[in-house]
Amino acid sequence: MTIPDIIIAIDGYSSTGKSTFAKLVASEFGFLYLDSGAMYRGVTLAGLEAGVIADGKIDEEALLPVMAPLELHFQREDGATKLFLGERCIEKEIRGWEVSQYVSPVSAIPQVRAWVDDKLHKFSEGGRVIMDGRDIGTTVFPNAELKIFMTADPAVRAQRRYDELLLKGEKTTLEEVEANLKDRDYRDSHRPTSPLRQAPDAFVLDNTHMNLHEELVWMLGLLQGKFGLLESPGLSC
Ligand code: DC
């Protein structure tokens, strides 16, 4: 039995390792990986560069015409899917501290959400896609054949994010990261448009005490339960 060309939706809190998990599942089982948060980050970066996001303020009216012509797209490079703005790879810039500060309010703007959803639908036209975000299984692809909701203890998530930022050479403190995470959790789950929610038909993956290999074994069990024994389920990690 092989896995059919389904859409797999992965939602959950920030810093639960959704994208790392989704990328790994994509490469293990031959899916195209799409990172919806990266799209919101791309719009935020463009807003910062255009000066319509500055000094703690987002000029929503001015952001929309900046966003409309943006050529944001994913491209495979060095074995990974990366976000490009036209010809320029912006994968590194969109992960920085400044973008992270503004991305949550930017992603709460309904017109921004509609624009990103439209792009995600276009990118997924061929099927066999795995996507991660905050509303993929509830709003963007409510009919996705497989939905996963990721969660983990907030202190563990903050430590993971802090370690990630340190590795990138960003100057911040664990307290700052914890506050930013708490703020994002609250905003993501309380915004009026597409709040972060667990879809009723989603499988919960709490990875507080799990490593990537254990997550992958969990996923294999889920896929086998759904589609029967898979051909060559040998896992690489
Ligand atoms: O997963 P991430 O941290 O890269 O996401 C960045 C922001 O975008 C985060 O504040 C939540 C938001 N987001 C969203 O609202 N909907 C999605 N489908 C994905 C991300």
User: What pLDDT shows up at residue 171?
Assistant: 87
Ligand 1, atom 1: closest residue by C-alpha: 37
Tell whether 233 is covered by a domain. Answer: no
Return the best residue to mutate from 18, 97, 134, 189 for the ligand 1 pocket (most ligand atoms within 8 A of CB): 134
This prediction's pTM: 0.88
Tell whether 231 is covered by a domain. Answer: no
Tell whether 234 is covered by a domain. Answer: no
Q: What is the pLDDT along the chain (237 residues), one digit of tens a residue?
A: 688 899 999 999 989 999 999 999 999 999 999 999 999 999 999 999 999 999 999 999 999 999 999 999 999 888 788 999 999 999 999 998 899 899 989 999 999 999 999 999 999 998 899 999 989 999 999 999 999 999 999 999 999 999 988 998 888 999 999 999 999 899 889 988 888 999 999 999 999 999 999 999 999 999 999 988 777 667 777
Tell whether 2 is covered by a domain. Answer: no
Tell whether 118 is covered by a domain. Answer: yes
Q: In whole angstroms, what is the distance from residue 124 CA to residue 29 CA?
A: 16
List ligand 1's pocket residues with C-beta within 6 A: 14, 36-37, 40-41, 103-104, 107, 133-136, 184, 188
Write the CB contacts of 234 (distance below 8 Å, at least 6 apart in sequence).
Answer: none
What is the full DSSP assignment across 108-171? T-HHHHHHHHHHHHHHTTT--EEEEESSIIIII-TT-SEEEEEE--HHHHHHHHHHHHHHTT--
Tell whether 115 is covered by a domain. Answer: yes
Domain with residue 39: its CATH number is 3.40.50.300
Tell whether 155 is covered by a domain. Answer: yes
Report how many domains make up the chain: 1
User: What pLDDT shows up at residue 232?
Assistant: 67
Tell whether 236 is covered by a domain. Answer: no
User: What pLDDT shows up at residue 50?
Assistant: 98
User: What pLDDT shows up at residue 209?
Assistant: 96
Domain that includes residue 82, residue range? 7-226
